[in-house]
Amino acid sequence: MNKKRVVVLGSTGTIGENTFRILQTLPDRFEVVGLAACTQTGRLAEQAALLGAKAVVTGSEQYRDDLARLAPAGVQVAAGTAAMAELASRPDVDIVVCAIVGTAGFQPVAEAIRHGKTIALASKEIMVMGGEWINALLKKYPAAKIVPVDSEHSAIFQCLTGRSEEEVAKLVLTASGGPFRQASLEEIRNATWEKAMQHPTWRMGAKVTIDSASMMNKALELVEARYLFRVKPEKLAVVIHPQSIVHSMVEMTDGALIAQLAPPDMRFAIQYALTFPERCNGNLPKLDWANLAPLTFEEPDHRKFPSLDFAEEALRTGGTLPTVMNAANEVAVEKFKHGEIAFPEIWSIVEKTMDAHDVRTQQDFAEIEAADREAREFAARLRG
């Protein structure tokens, strides 16, 4: 068996660390060409030593010397977004895992597409902010492909395998409901950062955990699904599933539902993206059918979680509006983190920023960057 040659962008984050665990578990299947992260140079150097990486990249020039000092002997060291893009487009790379937060992943992903790579995509921002542009690029370079890493999109990707477009009636994304699923409006109004961080089923990074509490994560995932699977907005739906065992479902035209189930562990989706189209035993935990709790489903409450309404508007309008929704939310989450706004004001800032935006088409990355910058500047001036 020929080893797949892998680059991991964002290797020290939550997705990156889970990818690291898989690569350590399956050394006979993968060769690690390079790793990239932003500031955690010590951990990046440690990962490179343990995985035998040929190259490491830090996202910032200011950390280059530190990384060069810590990196194993003989490992190539570079810094900056352009260096990440170069790493992702190397001829000795088959798969690029993109788990970078924010716009920093755009250039590396674009170069990976231009060079025909398989992209295991965990960064929501890529398809939410620039799905139209990315899909146009994929059409131009058909050798490249994107395999989703988000558990919901991975589930849909798996359920769609071997299905024709005509067979599919609806893509149904499941949501845990987060820590405030059963909370009153009063409890949500008074929610603290600590309470919002208490996710009932998943262990994730802070930003994603807060997005789950506000259900902005599901708004972003709806937009991501629209562009990943090239479906019309009316073919997308969300259902609350508190146990997080059914990761998503596909409703067929004959009324049948096809679902993907697994324990709430990010490694399932990451491993499948790395081994696709094959499967293998990665010693991941299995469902205990004998002791499995009842699986329940319910409709989301739009009154408590207006995020889904924002997604519907972004999907209807398209262009740069999804970019703006994402940017405003990132600014609002930071404001909430630093105690500048109350939890519900996250939604208020997103709504006001979207309403104020002059929507344009996604002609190129410069247009996406401009919309992102404008939205951040506008949202930063708001107080909820």
Burial class (CB in 10 A: 0-12, 13-18, 19+), 114: middle
103 pLDDT higher than 90: no
According to the model, what pLDDT value does residue 384 have? 65
For 254-301, what is each residue's pLDDT tens digit?
A: 999 999 999 999 999 999 999 999 999 999 999 998 888 899 999 999
Q: Which residues partner with 238 through β-bridges?
A: 173
Find the mean pLDDT for residues 323-340: 95
Find the mean pLDDT for residues 11-29: 96
Confidence bin at 242 (pLDDT 50/70/90): very high
Q: At 113, is the secondary structure helix, strand, or coil? A: helix
For 42-74, what is each residue's pLDDT tens digit?
A: 999 999 999 999 999 999 999 999 999 999 999
Instruction: For the chain, give the percent of residues with pLDDT over 90.
Output: 86
136 pLDDT higher than 80: yes
CATH topology of domain 153-264+284-381: Rna Polymerase Sigma Factor; Chain: A (1.10.1740)
Which ranges in the chain belong to alpha helices (H)?
A: 14-25, 41-51, 64-70, 81-88, 106-114, 124-140, 151-160, 185-189, 193-196, 206-214, 216-228, 267-275, 307-317, 321-337, 345-356, 365-381
What is residue 91's DSSP assignment?
T
CATH 3.40.50.720 residue window(s) in the chain: 4-122
CATH topology of domain 4-122: Rossmann fold (3.40.50)
According to the model, what pLDDT value does residue 101 have? 80
Residue of 95 and 162 predicted with greater confidence: 95
Instruction: For the chain, give the percent of residues with pLDDT over 70.
Output: 99
CATH 1.10.1740.10 residue window(s) in the chain: 153-264+284-381
Residue of 101 and 370 predicted with greater confidence: 370
According to the model, what pLDDT value does residue 292 have? 87
According to the model, what pLDDT value does residue 362 have? 85
Report the mean per-residue pLDDT for the chain: 94
Find the mean pLDDT for residues 330-342: 95
According to the model, what pLDDT value does residue 33 have? 98
The number of residues making up the chain comes to 384
**Residue 91, Cβ neighbours under 10 Å: how many?**
6
According to the model, what pLDDT value does residue 289 have? 87
100 pLDDT higher than 80: yes
Instruction: With CA atoms as reference, report the closest residue to 37 among 59, 55, 20, 15.
Output: 59
According to the model, what pLDDT value does residue 139 have? 97
Q: Contact, 212 vs 176, CB < 8 A?
A: yes
148 pLDDT higher than 90: yes
In degrees and rounded to multiples of 5, residue 304 shows phi and psi of -80, -30
Tell me how far apart the alpha carbons of residues 315 and 148 are, in angstroms, rounded to a whole number. 19
Find the mean pLDDT for residues 315-326: 95
Find the mean pLDDT for residues 226-235: 96
Say which residues have a Cβ less than 8 Å from residue 258's Cβ, sequence separation at least 6: 159, 249, 250, 252
383 pLDDT higher than 90: no
Joined together, the tokens standing for residue 304 give 């408590």
Q: Contact, 231 vs 225, CB < 8 A?
A: yes
> What's the whole-model pTM score?
0.93
Joined together, the tokens standing for residue 352 give 């006001």
For CA atoms 165, 231, 234, 155, the dihedral sign is: positive
According to the model, what pLDDT value does residue 178 have? 87
Q: Which residues partner with 58 through β-bridges?
A: 37, 79
202 pLDDT higher than 90: no
Confidence bin at 141 (pLDDT 50/70/90): very high
Joined together, the tokens standing for residue 181 give 């699923």
373 pLDDT higher than 90: yes
